[in-house]
């Protein structure tokens, strides 16, 4: 057997092993769109929180509009989440079909589980923080637990996901140190980083 034929055979075997052990149908474009949705949500949150009050003014949290503010922010966050998840599912299923991979196979179920454990834990913690009035560290908690979820899921999918997760964790820790800038770090983490990461993934794997 010629050397080129051996190399092609090894490449084919490696590709088959990757398909069986990793979920390689994540769409880079869905990451870009998720980042766009997050930036739109961040602008809406800024208007709700700071319009007419100034960036550093937080005393309004303790007046009678607190419930209305929390409700409005929750609606924005839920809208961003639903839009991001829906887009991710649609584009991932389309890419999986193009690659001939089962979008609901063993690897995809493992990926969802690895993501869900830190995300659900973080989501419950965030609800507790909101109910107890610890608004200053909500952005930090969401970034940290999201980063942990990405790192935890990176062994099931592209290794690049791990580096995005590490950056999210770093931003979350910075947001904890500077709670007054939580919305800014949130916009960078869920918006800017997703757009950059999604673009890289699209150019690297989707073409």
pLDDT of res. 19 = 47
Give the other-Cβ count within 10 Å of 2's Cβ.
7
Give the other-Cβ count within 10 Å of 159's Cβ.
9
Residue 35 lies in a domain: yes
152 vs 68, 106, 135, 157, 159, CA distance in Å?
35, 16, 26, 10, 11
Q: Decide: 88 and 27 in contact? Cβ < 8 Å.
A: yes
Rounded Cα distance between 182 and 129, Å, is 14
Q: Quickly list DSSP for 14-34.
A: HHHHHHHHS-----HHHHHHH
Residue 16 lies in a domain: no
Residue 23 lies in a domain: no
pLDDT 10s per residue in the chain (207 long)? 455 554 555 455 445 444 444 555 678 888 999 999 999 999 999 888 876 554 444 444 445 467 778 888 889 999 999 999 899 888 888 887 777 777 777 787 888 899 999 999 999 999 999 888 888 899 999 999 999 999 998 888 888 899 999 999 999 999 999 988 999 999 999 999 999 999 998 888 776
Residue 12 lies in a domain: no
Rounded Cα distance between 119 and 146, Å, is 6
Rounded Cα distance between 184 and 70, Å, is 18
Task: Report the domain count for the chain.
Answer: 1
pLDDT of res. 64 = 47
Identify the domain containing residue 81 by its residue range.
28-94+102-206
Residue 199 lies in a domain: yes
State pTM to two decimals. 0.80
Q: Number of helices and strands (H, E) in the chain?
A: 8, 0
């Amino acid at each position: 057997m010629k050397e080129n034929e051996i190399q092609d055979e090894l490449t084919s075997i490696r590709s088959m092993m990757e398909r069986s052990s990793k979920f390689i149908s994540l769409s880079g474009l869905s990451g870009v769109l998720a980042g766009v949705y997050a930036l739109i949500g961040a602008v809406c949150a800024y208007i709700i929180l700071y319009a007419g009050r100034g960036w550093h003014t937080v005393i309004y949290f303790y007046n009678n509009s607190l419930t209305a503010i929390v409700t409005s922010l929750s609606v924005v966050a839920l809208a961003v989440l639903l839009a991001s998840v829906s887009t991710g599912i649609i584009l991932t299923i389309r890419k999986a079909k193009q690659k001939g991979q089962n979008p609901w196979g063993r690897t995809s179920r493992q990926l969802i589980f690895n993501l869900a454990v830190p995300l659900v834990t973080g989501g419950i913690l965030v609800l507790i923080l909101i109910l107890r009035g610890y608004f200053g560290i909500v952005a930090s908690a969401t970034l940290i637990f999201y980063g942990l979820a990405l790192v935890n899921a990176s062994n099931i999918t592209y290794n690049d996901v791990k580096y995005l997760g590490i950056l999210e964790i770093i931003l979350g820790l910075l947001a904890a140190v500077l709670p007054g800038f939580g919305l800014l770090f949130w916009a960078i983490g869920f918006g800017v980083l997703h757009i950059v990461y999604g673009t890289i993934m699209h150019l690297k794997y989707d073409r």
